[in-house]
Every structure is written in C-alpha cells, then in structure tokens.
Structure 1
Amino acid sequence: MAEQGAAAIPSQARSKQLRACLLCSIIQLPVDFRRNGCPNCEELMQMKGNSDRIATCTTTYFDGVISVIDPENSWVARWQRTSKYVRGLYAVRVKGRVPEDVEAELDNRGIKYRPRDQTDHD
C-alpha cells in the first residue's frame, strides 16, 4: 500500500471550493491556505491567516489538475515547473497574476515572474 504523503489532498471538496495559488499553482481549500498558507511560497505570498490575501493570491479559475507524488523525479513536474515544490495537486494553468507587491519582490530577488496561464513552457 502506498505511503501517505505530507500534502493533504482535499478528497471531499467540490471543485468550486478549491483555489490555486497564482505563483506555484498548488490547489487547496481556502481553509488550508488560511491555516497553513502556501506550502511552496508562503514567504512571498503571506496568506496564512489572511483571507484578503488568499482572495488576491489564489484563484478559482484554473484548468486541469496534476497529482504530483514524486516532484523531483516527475517529468510532468519538471514540465509544469513544480519539481522543487511539495507533493500535492497542481493546476495545469491558472488565470490571473500575482499582486504587484509579490511581482516587485520577485524582481528584487532577481527572479523572473512567469504567469502560469500561458501554454508555452521552457
């Protein structure tokens, strides 16, 4: 039997309740973003305990769902740019952009922001 992972998969959630992070595209329930923040980019997104920030940093508009179990060895995770992230459910594409302050912080750190709503991948 497969070992249970650290990432909680929202098994009984309806798709309309799920939200995808605009930066990393991980999919969670709003309560999980509020309780724990984003497991991949909380330092930048600062969603933990902040409903307004969750509303601006996540979206319900996303296409496709990928289950990433072994991020470092998954070719799909490399293709989706999620190979350095935690295991979990990820959107193939998300509609929207991160807030300006997050984009500015990425720029300050020398990180090029690439919105996750485009179909081209490097």
Structure 2
Amino acid sequence: MSIETVPTDLRNLRACLVCSLVKTLHQFEMDGCDNCDRFLGIKGDIEKCVECTSANFDGMIAVCDHNDSWVSKWQKINKKCPGVYAISVSGTLPKIVVQRIEAAWNQIQNWAER
C-alpha cells in the first residue's frame, strides 16, 4: 500500500463517490482519486473534490493485498488499488460527472464489440 493512499489525518476524511476510497480532502485535492481520477479529474480542483467525494460514510476497511483479501472481494474493491475504503458512502455525483462516466462506458462497450 502506498503511503500517499493512506489518510494522513482522521479529520476531514472523505470517500470517493465512485470507488469509496477514503482520504483527506487535502489528499484528494493534491493527488486525486487513485482509482477514478482519469475520468473524474478532481486532482487540483477543490470544488470537484467536494462534489465527487462525501464526508458521509460508514466504516473503513484497509486493503493491503486485495488478491488475498476476502473482505475486498466481498466489498467488490478487489480490483482497486490498495488503500483505505469506506464500507458504504452516501451522496450523489453531479449530473455532468455521471454523463461523463456513461459516455466513457459506452466508448468501452463500442470498442469491445468491434
């Protein structure tokens, strides 16, 4: 597990609304989401960080080796990068972000059908 992925403080923790990765707001702003930043684009944008993460989450799971962890498989995070994950997250992504994710998914499906 990369030290950058572990929350550096227990205050101001937030969970990604897409993958449930838990970091501080400052870490999300500085590094983005290790799993989702390629389509969320929250790195360096505090407003997007607040919109695409939530402070309203329950429980945390630390995953060091997702291949050997039944908990990561149970939580469906076994394909994600090692880190600390929320068990459940409450919140809603902005409509524009949802549309961007759907467009990316459609491109992947179209590519796979070729």
Give the shorter-chain TM-score range. 0.7 to 0.9
| Match of residue 67 from structure 1 | 62
Q: Which moved more, 1:99-108 or 1:76-85?
A: 99-108
Runs of 4+ aligned structure 1 residues displaced above 3 Å come to none
Q: CA deviation at 1:97?
A: 1.8
- When the two structures are superposed, what TM-score results if normalisation uses the length of structure 2? 0.83
Q: How does 1:44-55 map to 2 (within 5 A)?
A: 44-55=39-50
Residues in 2 aligned to 1:98 and 1:54: alpha-carbon distance in whole angstroms: 11
Match of 1:10 among 4, 7, 19: 7
Alpha carbon RMSD of aligned pairs, Å? 1.7
| Match of residue 25 from structure 1 | 20
Residues in 2 aligned to 1:98 and 1:31: alpha-carbon distance in whole angstroms: 19
Is 1:78 the counterpart of 2:73 in the alignment?
yes
- When the two structures are superposed, what TM-score results if normalisation uses the length of structure 1? 0.78
Of all paired residues, the percent bearing the same amino acid is 34
Q: Decide which structure has greater helix share.
A: 2
- Aligned length in residues: 105
| Match of residue 40 from structure 1 | 35
